[in-house]
Amino acid sequence: MIVLDASVLGASLVRSSTHSDWALEIIRANDVVAPAHLLVETSQMLRRLVLSGLVSPQETDAAHVDLLNFDVGLYPYDFVGPRVWELRHNLTTYDGCYVALAEVMELPLATLDERLARASGPTCEFLLPPAN
């Protein structure tokens, strides 16, 4: 089981992403849990990609359908809120939710965000794609 952030879920949904294969592999190999905002944050990522012209409307439309059908255990903010607040000086609330969930559940956090993995404060294990 792993905690998954929006960067990895987005990469798994948009096949043109540099890390699509790694993201798909890690999702297929694990049961996935995440903070409740995962789906909203990933939907916003898809919106940004299509508005910027980086991905076609057809690809993001298909990705959004897959997003709505994604099998994930979602946890509400109150489950991790106290730890998120402790992390507020080093992490955004959004990132703090992923980290706190990983810490509370003693699971690794899969992310493409190297900056997050290097931040001071988190005590969870990070799963990052191999360096290119």
Q: H or E element: which one contains 120? A: none
Tell whether the model's pLDDT for residue 59 goes beyond 80.
Answer: yes
Question: For all residues of the chain together, what is the average pLDDT?
Answer: 96
Instruction: Report residue 109's pLDDT band, with 50, 70 and 90 as the boundaries.
Output: very high
Pairing of strands 109-110, 126-127: parallel
Class of domain 2-127: alpha beta
Cα angle 120, 33, 8 (rounded to 5 degrees) comes to 65
**Residues 61-102 pLDDT 10s:** 999 999 999 999 999 999 999 999 999 999 999 999 999 999
Q: State residue 17's pLDDT score.
A: 73
